[in-house]
Amino acid sequence: LQSSPPGELRDVAKDVSKLLPAGLLSDATLNHVMHEYNREHRVSAMTPDGTHRIAISKETEVDSTHYLDTKSKKIFGFDHINHQLNPNEVQDCPDKFSLPDEPYRLVLQNALDDYSLAQYANQGVVAVVSTGESEIAIVISTERINLRNYWSGRWTSKWKLQLEGQAATLSGSIDVHVHYYEDGNLQLQSRKDVEQTITYHDPSSLASAVVQAISDEEHVI
């Protein structure tokens, strides 16, 4: 189940349940499996008002059913089985956005949102999360699902930005998973690890340098 192609976990789970004794793949077990899958593969979910997506990931996880939306600065409840955010489980979280490096985080969020919109249209999601220890985590994810035409794909990248004076270390990885299964069954999975040093003098110059570095690496894939 954890190896299911993009957009196909629920279909794979249905097929697996038919092969197992009745009740073995319980709702609790399925919820656990989907929780692990969703956050490991950094899937996204549309907000209840339909304005943007949020990342379901280790970096944005508050607990197993609540996730941080770094654009609206709110926490949403999330149903892993139905893959939906709960409009009745929304709360503010000012403490998450009052850390010393918040000015850097906010400018990075806005700059990477623009990058995502240009590259992935409204199918992409970006989450920029501050850890409070001069470290910022970045998640970028997009999916294209077209099961009617027998293909699906996911592009994700995760980054860690370590701030040190007027230099920063950007390290991360880019993952691609594509499935095509008309007249066959082909999958492509690829990963690229990245690390480089960035110089900056203010939040704006840091954001510009980070976006350029990520763009350069993603376009090499």
- By CB atoms closer than 10 A (0-12, 13-18, 19+), residue 49 is exposed
The pair of three-digit structure tokens given for residue 128, joined into one six-digit string: 């920029």
For residue 154, give its domain range.
97-220
Residue 80 located in a structural domain: no
Which residues pair with residue 167 across a beta bridge?
Answer: 164, 199
Q: Give the integer Cα–Cα distance in Å for 77 and 48.
A: 11
Residue 20 located in a structural domain: no
What was the pLDDT predicted at 83? 95
Asked whether the beta carbons of 41 and 49 are under 8 A apart, the reply is no
The pair of three-digit structure tokens given for residue 161, joined into one six-digit string: 């930005």
Q: Into how many domains does the chain fold?
A: 1
Of residues 183 and 160, more confidence is placed in 160
Q: How many residues does the chain have?
A: 221
* Residues 56-106 pLDDT 10s: 999 999 999 999 999 999 999 999 999 999 999 999 998 889 889 999 999
Residue 142 located in a structural domain: yes
* Residues 42-59 pLDDT 10s: 999 999 999 999 999 999
Decide if pLDDT at 132 tops 80: no
Q: What is the pLDDT confidence band of residue 25, given thresholds at 50, 70 and 90?
A: confident
Range 94-123 average pLDDT: 94
Residue 197 located in a structural domain: yes
What was the pLDDT predicted at 23? 81
Residue 43 located in a structural domain: no
Residue 160 located in a structural domain: yes
Decide if pLDDT at 215 tops 90: yes
Residue 54 located in a structural domain: no
The pair of three-digit structure tokens given for residue 137, joined into one six-digit string: 């985590």
Range 203-221 average pLDDT: 96
Q: What is the pTM of this model?
A: 0.93
Considering the chain, what is the average pLDDT of its residues?
Answer: 95
Residue 102 located in a structural domain: yes
CATH number, domain at 117? 3.90.1150.210
